[in-house]
């Protein structure tokens, strides 16, 4: 009936009667469950009444009186069973795959009367199942013995400790990829092995560059060591830290993050136009373009960079740069501008195209300029970077581009992986792919999200059928059991036509099939790593590797191990359930139809001789597109199956895995008791004084050796993590007089940093607020690394016991909604409104296309657009933001946001995409142009959707009648018409009809005319669509409540967070 029962068996293992293990409590009469494998002693009473031919079984925890109501009671005539005059009474037991021990502590028996009671106090004790826990006495006595010796030191540091406790902060794992940007000299010293010459990458007039590996994260870094006396010196060093340290773009070399394929031109466009200030690089050349592992170009070395505000002129400065890349006007103006960078970029383009240096000497010693050599007497007109990018994109569209078919991928851990998971499979916070979690009779599957094209199509009708492509995969796995040398069923690498394994069974079937053989419609190829011997499947032992072709009976199988090349090919056994990571290589030759499987410990190179080599007919399992991944299942043993890293490739070897980047396996069982205490305890008191003195001496020596200098200019740059003490003083102890706003997500205070006198806004979020830790992390990780002139700048953060704090640039003019709806605020002019919508559009283009990942804001509205002192619109509040990699699909998530701004398809698909942001932006355009809320009430208290109101006027030819009447006709007719039509395009209910944000920016910049909207284009009612899509089931605030104190406000949604 289950795996925890009591039964009465008469000449058969099919029990005559059975019940769940437990007893009936005499006090309450209720049934109390017992677990037979609890490692605790229990008592059982078995009584047979020969006259009534009735047997009863009663059980209870040891020490509890015998319950009055038995657990089992049934009628059995034993005279027909015990046919001999005498019989033996005793116990029988057996083991299977579990290392279990069965003990009897005491026993009594009687004929024709009750069995004598057992003296529980006289029974032997059970042996210990785990190592003895560390003695608490030692942990208490040792500090007490040392207390008198350290009392003087404790008094000296008391004041310091008390001060640190007051400003205590927490540091968690998710903060590592975010910062801080200031490294300790000690970390860099060790990362570069003491700046050893072996680590030297290059040297020049500005210093030396060393390769290093950070000890904590194993991240490879390049360290530029600049001395005060170098040509670059502190001035250029500061420029590089202040500019490059805050820039974020996919084609700029940066400390954290990664790049995708766009190129140097896109990086320059970001520097010149899209960042919060204008950045002039002043040294664009081939030697400053670095190539990453995928040969993507990334512009680096901003040591000569100059920054100035948008809308202002560049200052005159010294002429610096590299000969051949300097624009002619620099000699007489001394001003570095975007146009001078464009000149350098032009020389760089010729350098890349022609494979020549900008200035060369011929055999006669004469200098020749590459531009003259290439174009002779013609004059090359400089083009703005944006036009160059457009030209490159046009060429790509004309000539076509190769698209990836998912033929190669690498997962160095799975933290950012978008795998298709089901069953027990999860990705742990540490990056492990945990297929199982010690659940009985469970199964799990994890697949790469995109199918792989495994067949090469025939070239003609007369050609033979499509041939299978070769593939190679490599992965690191570990099987971790709660018991030594024993585990449950294993795991398998799978190639299958679908990711749906709902019909498959757990246990010995590994979640692959529903029986011994698969079906013709669901063929799978699997390489099993099995730790259970199942005779039904012809397994050779409980530690083997096999190749399964649509069957649980392996085509070929072998004991786990490898042929050691270092020992002349000698055989080495491996234990699959050793709790240690191992590496597997699976290589399939499509031409030969040969599948090789190789196994080895981690960090051992791939052996030359494979473990298995099997001929596999691809027609038995191969389809045009197949999914690759892993399957695993559990039975009755508490076992975890992990995958630490995975790489795959078609038509070539799988990329090697970097073991230093793989996640770490968790600890199993309690930490063993340290023998050190038992040995050193008698000596601890005598040695403590010497240890304290040595620690003091080491600390002084360490601080002297790794002493760092902190200068005034660093206060301008950061770091990104603020101390609670600084924020406490900046806000005058979070006084109410500095309170800017209050909402469901916490309070916002105005503050002034003491060191730099910089005005800031501090959002103080408590753990029990509606935003909480999850949204706090989202906001830090996303907006904390974003840099754009139209985004609210997150200057830093602080994590403290019980609360979370975010530090922003202070926006002097508050949120946009106050000016649109507030009665006490002046009305914004049309020019101000148009500048705001253009700025927000540019920021969304950056989020969707130009940053290193796709960022979906999910809450675009007027109350989330803040205005700086120049009335520039800045998009803020990234608490609902979602990020995913370029080229991948967003994951389904909860529907969140604000009613009136939500795209109709969100309820149906649950996927937030760039086009759902475009919809919200369309509603925002109407909000700004009309001065009305997205959903309002008419005179009859009926709900009116703003989009429907504008559509009605558009049909009637009076679209300008919806413009905010407070403008009293003072607006540009063409611009107002453009904004309103563009808003209807963006807020269209069909996602594929909406324009991208790049197209929106082009419309607003008048680079493209807005198409006329036909009557059929706007033949819909948004109110009806919302009701049809089920928006009425979402109780959300269509009129966000706004609490405003001072100069800022926060909107509070009634639901959606």
- Report the catalytic residues: 859
Using alpha carbons only, give the angle 294, 857, 827 rounded to the nearest 5 degrees. 135
Rounded distance between C-alpha atoms, residue 22 and residue 29, angstroms: 12
Alpha-carbon Rg of the chain, whole angstroms?
Answer: 36
Quick one: how far is CA 695 from the chain centroid?
Answer: 40
763 assigned binding-site residue: yes
Q: 3-class DSSP state for residue 415? A: coil
- Beta-carbon neighbour count of residue 574 at 10 Å? 17
C-beta separation of 437 from 426 below 8 A? yes
C-beta separation of 741 from 812 below 8 A? no
CA dihedral 669, 675, 677, 679 (to 10 degrees): 180
Between helices 914-930 and 946-955, what is the axis angle to 10°? 70
Torsion over CA: 552, 558, 561, 564 (sign):
negative
Rounded distance between C-alpha atoms, residue 1007 and residue 158, angstroms: 67
Q: DSSP label at 272? A: I
Structure-block tokens of residue 149:
């010796």
Quick one: how far is CA 354 from the chain centroid?
Answer: 42
Rounded distance between C-alpha atoms, residue 938 and residue 952, angstroms: 15
Rounded distance between C-alpha atoms, residue 697 and residue 255, angstroms: 35
Rounded distance between C-alpha atoms, residue 998 and residue 235, angstroms: 37
Q: Measuring CA to CA, how many Å separate 690 from each of 150, 158, 694?
A: 11, 21, 6
| 3 state SS for 992-1006 | HHCCCHHHHHHHHCC
Between helices 973-986 and 830-845, what is the axis angle to 10°? 40
Contacts of 927 (CB under 8 A, 6+ apart): 820, 861, 862, 933, 934, 946
225 assigned binding-site residue: yes
Q: DSSP label at 840? A: H
Beta strand spans in 497-624 (E)? 525-530, 544-549, 556-559, 561-564, 570-573, 582-589, 594-601, 612-615
C-beta separation of 602 from 583 below 8 A? yes
Question: What residues are designated binding site for ATP?
Answer: 225, 763
Question: What residues are designated binding site?
Answer: 225, 763
């Amino acid at each position: 009936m289950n795996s925890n029962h009591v039964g009465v068996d008469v000449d058969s293992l099919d029990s005559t009667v059975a019940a769940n293990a437990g007893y009936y409590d005499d006090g309450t009469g209720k049934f109390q469950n017992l677990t037979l494998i609890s490692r605790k002693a229990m008592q059982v009473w078995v009584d047979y009444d020969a006259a009534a031919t009735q047997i009863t079984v009663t059980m209870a925890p040891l020490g509890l009186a015998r319950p009055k109501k038995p657990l089992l009671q049934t009628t059995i005539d034993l005279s027909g069973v015990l046919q001999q005059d005498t019989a033996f009474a005793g116990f029988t037991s057996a083991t299977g795959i579990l290392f279990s021990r069965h003990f009897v502590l005491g026993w009594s028996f009687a004929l024709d009367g009750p069995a004598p009671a057992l003296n529980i106090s006289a029974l032997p004790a059970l042996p210990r199942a785990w190592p003895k826990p560390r003695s608490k006495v030692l942990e208490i006595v040792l500090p007490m013995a040392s207390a008198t010796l350290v009392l003087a030191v404790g008094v000296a540091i008391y004041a310091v400790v008390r001060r640190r406790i007051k400003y205590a902060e927490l540091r968690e794992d998710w903060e590592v990829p975010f910062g801080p940007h200031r490294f300790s000299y000690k970390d860099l010293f060790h990362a570069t092995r003491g700046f050893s010459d072996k680590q030297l990458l290059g040297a020049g007039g500005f210093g030396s560059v060393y390769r290093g590996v950070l000890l904590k994260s194993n991240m490879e870094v390049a360290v530029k060591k600049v001395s005060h006396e170098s040509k670059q010196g502190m001035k250029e060093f500061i420029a590089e830290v202040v500019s490059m340290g805050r820039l974020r773009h996919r084609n700029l070399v940066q400390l954290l993050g990664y790049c995708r394929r766009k190129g140097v031109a896109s990086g320059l466009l970001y520097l010149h136009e899209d960042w919060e200030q204008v950045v002039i690089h002043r040294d664009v050349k081939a030697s400053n373009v670095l190539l990453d592992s995928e040969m993507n170009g990334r512009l680096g070395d901003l040591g000569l960079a100059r920054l100035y505000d948008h809308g202002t002129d560049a200052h005159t400065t010294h002429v610096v740069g590299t000969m051949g890349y300097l624009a002619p006007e620099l000699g007489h103006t001394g001003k570095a501008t975007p146009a001078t960078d464009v000149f350098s970029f032009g020389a760089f383009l010729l350098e890349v195209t022609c494979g020549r240096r900008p200035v060369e000497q011929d055999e006669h010693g004469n200098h020749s300029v590459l531009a003259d050599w290439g174009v002779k007497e013609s004059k090359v007109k400089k083009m703005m970077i944006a036009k160059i990018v457009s030209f490159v994109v046009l060429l790509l569209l004309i000539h076509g581009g190769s698209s990836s078919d998912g033929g190669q991928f690498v997962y160095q851990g799975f933290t950012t992986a978008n795998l298709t998971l089901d069953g027990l499979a999860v990705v742990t916070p540490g990056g492990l792919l945990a297929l199982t979690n010690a659940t009985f009779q469970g199964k799990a599957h994890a697949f790469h999200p995109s199918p792989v094209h495994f067949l090469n199509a025939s070239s003609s009708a007369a050609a033979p059928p499509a041939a299978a492509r070769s593939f190679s995969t490599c992965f690191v796995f570990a099987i971790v059991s709660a018991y030594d040398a024993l585990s449950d069923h294993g795991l398998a690498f799978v190639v299958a036509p679908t990711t749906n394994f709902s019909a498959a069974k757990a246990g010995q079937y590994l979640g692959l099939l529903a029986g011994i053989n698969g079906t013709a419609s669901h063929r799978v190829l699997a390489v099993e790593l099995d730790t259970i011997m199942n005779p039904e499947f012809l397994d050779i032992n409980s530690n083997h590797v096999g190749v399964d072709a649509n069957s649980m009976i392996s085509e070929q199988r072998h004991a786990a191990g490898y042929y050691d090349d270092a020992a002349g090919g000698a055989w080495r056994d491996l234990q699959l359930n050793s709790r240690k990571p191992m590496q597997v290589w699976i290589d399939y030759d499509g031409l030969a139809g040969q599948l090789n499987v190789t196994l080895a410990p981690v960090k051992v190179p791939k052996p030359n001789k494979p473990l298995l080599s099997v001929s596999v007919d691809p027609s038995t399992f191969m389809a045009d597109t197949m999914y690759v991944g892993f399957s695993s299942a559990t039975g009755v043993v508490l076992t975890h199956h992990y995958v630490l890293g995975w790489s795959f490739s078609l038509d070539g070897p799988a990329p090697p895995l970097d073991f230093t980047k793989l996640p770490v396996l968790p600890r199993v069982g309690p930490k063993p008791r340290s023998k050190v205490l038992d040995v050193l305890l008698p000596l601890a008191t005598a040695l403590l004084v010497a240890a304290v003195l040595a620690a003091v001496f080491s600390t002084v020596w360490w601080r002297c050796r790794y002493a760092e200098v902190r200068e005034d200019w660093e206060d301008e740059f950061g770091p990104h993590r603020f101390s609670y003490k600084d924020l406490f003083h900046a806000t005058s102890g979070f006084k109410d007089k500095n309170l800017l706003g209050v909402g469901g997500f916490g309070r916002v205070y105005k503050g002034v940093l003491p060191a730099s006198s910089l005005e800031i806004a501090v959002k103080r979020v408590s753990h029990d607020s509606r935003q909480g830790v999850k949204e706090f992390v989202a906001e830090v990780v996303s907006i904390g690394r974003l840099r754009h002139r139209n985004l609210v700048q997150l200057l830093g953060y602080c994590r403290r016991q019980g609360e979370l704090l975010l530090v922003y640039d202070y926006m002097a003019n508050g949120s946009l909604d106050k000016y649109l709806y507030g009665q006490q605020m002046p009305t914004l002019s049309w020019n101000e409104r148009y500048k705001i919508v253009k700025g927000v559009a540019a920021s969304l283009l950056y989020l969707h296309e130009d940053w290193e990942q796709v960022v979906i804001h999910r809450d675009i509205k007027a109350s989330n657009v803040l205005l700086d002192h120049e009335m520039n619109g800045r998009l803020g509040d990234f608490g609902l933001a979602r990020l995913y990699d370029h080229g991948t699909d967003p994951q389904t998530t909860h529907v969140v946001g604000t009613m009136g701004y939500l795209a109709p398809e969100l309820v149906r698909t649950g996927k937030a995409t760039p086009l759902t942001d475009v919809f919200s932006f369309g509603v925002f355009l109407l909000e700004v142009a009309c001065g009305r809320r997205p959903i309002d009430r008419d005179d009859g208290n009926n709900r009116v959707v703003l989009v429907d109101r504008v559509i009605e006027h558009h049909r009637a030819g009076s679209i300008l009648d919806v413009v905010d009447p407070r403008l009293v006709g003072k607006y540009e007719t063409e611009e107002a018409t453009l904004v309103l039509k563009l808003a209807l395009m963006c807020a269209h209910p069909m996602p594929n009809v909406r324009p991208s944000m790049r197209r929106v920016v082009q419309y607003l910049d008048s680079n493209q005319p807005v198409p006329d909207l036909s009557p059929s284009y706007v033949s819909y009612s948004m109110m009806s669509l919302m009701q049809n899509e089920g928006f009425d089931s979402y109780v959300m605030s269509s009129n966000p409540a706004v609490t405003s104190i001072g100069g800022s406000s926060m909107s509070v949604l009634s639901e959606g967070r």
